[in-house]
Structure 1
Amino acid sequence: MMKTSTLLVAYDGSETSKKALLKAKEIAEQNNQTTLLVATVWDLPNASYEAHNYQYMTEIYQKEAEEKIQEVEELIQDLPNEKQTFILKGSAASTIIEFAEKKEVDLIVLGNRGLGGIKRFFLGSVSFHVVQKAPCDVFVVK
């Protein structure tokens, strides 16, 4: 009997995160007992906002995260395995690590570099931090 496992993909919409998602999908297809979890992490940049600007920026980042999850759901819709998507708020690396611990993930799959600028969800250092601190194996996709 095949072992049940859980894969977590950190997805930010960048090309490398799309490659990571497709690689995780490929891995999951090898065992129908594998569960695929996909998380998009967002947080506001370190800046002080007036109350109305804070609400506005929060809505923008939340909407972008929802769009990323829609992309994910389209890319994995034909995968017969159990799958779930999540929108998480917080610092990307630590949020991914905490989520992986909570969900008892067996493998984290992520791209080596994410988006930059205002659409930043991940930095190159995120993959490094996750590799160093994750409670499980990490597959970094280039």
Structure 2
Amino acid sequence: MSEISDTYRTVVVGTDGSESSLRAVARAGALAGACSATLVIACAYLPVEPDDREIGRAQDVLRDDAYQILGSHPAEDTVRTAAERAGAAGARKVKTIAVEGSPVEALLDVVRREDADLLVVGNRGLAGIKGRLLGSVPADATRRSECDVLVVHTTG
């Protein structure tokens, strides 16, 4: 275990508040706690535009797969809830960040800014035509990350 504790000093995990993403947060919290690492919990959000009907239509089509959060206040609530889950799993040093932007870009930006050693993502992606059109957060983040990536199996 000493090799792992020497390797990971800063762990970043993304959440959208879904139960699936909170499972990844818990796993990241347990790992960060075991490594005495700082856990950075990030949530991406889009700014709320009063007349932005396109986002509403996209959410209607995607339903449960509409993982993008609208507005900074819901994102801040999401990371607070995730921090509680991470603490219960063993994380001792937790930092929360709500980041404007798309999920993958926001996560990779946080990884760079925090000089993270590890990015943790859940395996829940978008299946079928939705995934081909919009891409998968876990797959895109894994492919583009410059640090180690742990993909947590969060779905049955």
TM-score range, shorter chain: 0.7 to 0.9
Give the whole-Å Cα distance in 1 for the aligned partners of 2:135 and 2:26. 20
Structure 1 position 70 matched with structure 2 position 77: no
Letter in 2 for 1:53: D
Match of 2:116 in 1: 105
Percent identity over paired residues: 29
Q: Alpha-carbon deviation of 1:82?
A: 1.9
Structure 1 position 38 matched with structure 2 position 48: no
- Helix, strand or coil for the counterpart of 2:124? coil
Give the whole-Å Cα distance in 1 for the aligned partners of 2:33 and 2:103. 27
Q: Alpha-carbon deviation of 1:15?
A: 2.0
Give the whole-Å Cα distance in 2 for the aligned partners of 1:80 and 1:108. 15
Give the whole-Å Cα distance in 2 for the aligned partners of 1:112 and 1:80. 21
Instruction: Normalising by structure 1, report the TM-score.
Output: 0.74
Match of 2:65 in 1: none
Unaligned runs of 5+ in 2: 57-69, 127-133
Spell out structure 1 runs of 4+ moving beyond 4 A. Answer: none
The verdict on how the C-alpha distance between 1:53 and 1:110 changes in structure 2, with shifts beyond 3 A counting, is: same
Give the whole-Å Cα distance in 2 for the aligned partners of 1:80 and 1:128. 26
Instruction: Normalising by structure 2, report the TM-score.
Output: 0.68
1:50-129 aligned at under 5 Å gives the runs 52-53=50-51, 61-78=71-88, 79=90, 81-113=92-124, 125-129=136-140
The verdict on how the C-alpha distance between 1:80 and 1:29 changes in structure 2, with shifts beyond 3 A counting, is: closer
The structure with more helix, counted as a fraction of residues: 2
Give the whole-Å Cα distance in 2 for the aligned partners of 1:29 and 1:52. 41
Letter in 1 for 2:86: I
Match of 1:119 in 2: none
Unaligned runs of 5+ in 1: 116-122
Give the whole-Å Cα distance in 2 for the aligned partners of 1:14 and 1:52. 25
The verdict on how the C-alpha distance between 1:80 and 1:52 changes in structure 2, with shifts beyond 3 A counting, is: closer
